[in-house]
Structure 1
Amino acid sequence: MSLVDDVRQVRRGWHWGEVKPRSWPERAPAVPDRSSNLGWARAEPVRSARWLLQKGVSLPFTRVMANPQVRGAEWMESLERPAIIAANHASHADLQLLLYALPDRARERTVVAAAADYWYQRPWLGRLVSLWLNTFPFSRTGGPQAVLHHSSQLLKSGWHLLIFPEGSRSADGRVQEFKPGVGFLARETGAPVVPIHVRGGQRIMPKGRAYPLPAPAQVRIGRPLQAQGKESARAFAGRVERSVRELAAGTDEPDVIGSWIERWRAAGPPSGAAARRRS
């Protein structure tokens, strides 16, 4: 059966809730997406389509718009098992910058937790981001147990899980407090957590803007972290947050919109009269 036949099968299945293509291979990872009805997003034909979309469209577009500087990619390549990827979040551009930064093999095996109340309120939008970005919906108002089962199944099936532990986009670009959910997931699943800091997304697409603008970006990937012994979920989440902040401190420029440095740069050099007075 061709990819076109698979797409038609998926399209016909929306109304009845059966969205698995007939050509789904038996060897594909068993990921029980019944709660969100999005198991089709991990099917082999859809994964091939996503690879074409990203390689042919979104990754080249990201390179043109931001030409991201990526450091620490070797930490992702060194992973021997699926991991939780925890990154700061200031812009809708962050996710594409993150996917650009991941090595090909890791990108193709990464599923993204997306806020159900934002991305899945409109069915067409939920289907689009599931196809393009390999997302699955999670509730920001529910407790950790609401996503633990599904997340653990994805990790057990060989998928990396990308989450934004702050819970929502930062308004000024500063790293916000990480919710304990990332620590809870790490403790319950035993998965390592890879801290990542993204800089520049808020300049490309700040909160409230509907379209991107060209701006430089940096993505720094840190050493994987592992929850230790009796370390609580909240304590481990704090440790992941500190690691992301340390990565942020290593970026070449401040990460904050409206910082004193930006205001100083915008002011330009002092006028001749002002310069003479200061001298």
Structure 2
Amino acid sequence: MTEHSGPTDNESADAKNPATDRLKVITQWRPWEPSEPAPHVLDSIDAHGAPPEDHGPAPVAPPAESAHIGLEHFTDPGRRRLRAVARAIFFNGIVDRTIRRRVQRKPGAEVLTGACVVVANHSSHLDAPLIMSSLPVNLRQNVATGVAADYFFTTWYKKLFTQLVFNAFPIDRKGTGENRGLSRKLLSAGIPVLVFPEGTRSKDGKMREFKVGAAALASSIGVPVLPVALIGAHEAMPRDTSWPRRGRPPVVVAIGEPLVAREHESTVGFNDRIQATVRELYREYRPLIEQ
């Protein structure tokens, strides 16, 4: 066999190919190797009155093809079976191999069935898969996730992936999209929905003020809100990163008791109570991250 004294033309081309560089990084990754020390997990997600974060220009209008999604996308038995397979592959095959998860559920969450609005603090791309796969079985099979139409529904492959794995429905963050009533239709059909009332991921892990939409939606239809606190997700995969930190960082998913709007309670008051509950769940279960 003849040995080569230098790179061939194909090898030189590969060396300059960005796709080849990315493949080398992936093939050299060793999840079992020790990682650099993980950052300290926030003791509290209370932003202490900090102003809303600047997330740049206002989102562009969602593409036309993101609209006109009907209930059949969420209720069809064939889609449900396909979704179950995709979720098993993605959640169990990828997510649980990159982080160490601990789930805590209050008793009321365990027996909750049917329509509800699941809300949580939001600071990582891990948030939705962690919540969806940590819900009680009677909720996780059908839960649909509200996602930003201007981010996840801009290309066919993003739309296909989010609909297949996350049972996603588009939310126009400008509030003018053609799917504005879809979340109401889903809840009326008995389908739980997951929304992030902050509207976008936090850059520093601190929870900003919830928009009142989720509280208003649950109150108007008469369904409970299921509060969730994510502890360590921001440190495991901060905003503007494409992969969790090496070394399987710990994450706690704390699911609280369902909340129902009280008689004569204002939407703002209900929203404040939901936010306070998420903060309290974070404080209560934060010590578990060290165990």
**SS at structure 1 position matched to 2:244:** coil
Partner deviation per Cα, 1:213-243 (whole Å, 9 max, x = no partner): 2311001011111111222212211110000
Partners in 2 of 1:197 and 1:145 — Cα distance? 31
For 2:214, the equivalent position in structure 1 comes to: 182
1:172 to 188, 204, 219: 204
Q: How does 1:79-118 map to 2 (within 5 A)?
A: 79-118=112-151
Deviation, 1:103, is 2.1
Percent of aligned pairs sharing the same letter:
30
2:233 to 186, 201, 213: 201
Is the contact between residue 77 and residue 106 of structure 1 (CA under 8 Å) also seen in structure 2?
no
Partners in 1 of 2:152 and 2:255 — Cα distance? 26
Deviation, 1:73, is 5.5
Is the contact between residue 112 and residue 138 of structure 2 (CA under 8 Å) also seen in structure 1?
no
For 1:236, the equivalent position in structure 2 comes to: 270
For 2:162, the equivalent position in structure 1 comes to: 129
2:186 to 120, 134, 154: 154
Partners in 2 of 1:47 and 1:206 — Cα distance? 31
Unaligned runs of 5+ in 2: 1-64
Alignment size in residue pairs: 223
Partners in 1 of 2:114 and 2:152 — Cα distance? 29
**Amino acid across the alignment from 1:217:** V
Q: TM-score if structure 2 supplies the norm length? A: 0.70
**Amino acid across the alignment from 2:271:** A
More helix by share: 1
Partners in 1 of 2:120 and 2:100 — Cα distance? 19
Is the contact between residue 146 and residue 195 of structure 2 (CA under 8 Å) also seen in structure 1?
yes
Q: Which has the higher contact order (CA 8 A, sep 6+)?
A: 2
**Amino acid across the alignment from 2:210:** F
**SS at structure 2 position matched to 1:121:** coil
Q: TM-score if structure 1 supplies the norm length? A: 0.73
**SS at structure 2 position matched to 1:68:** strand
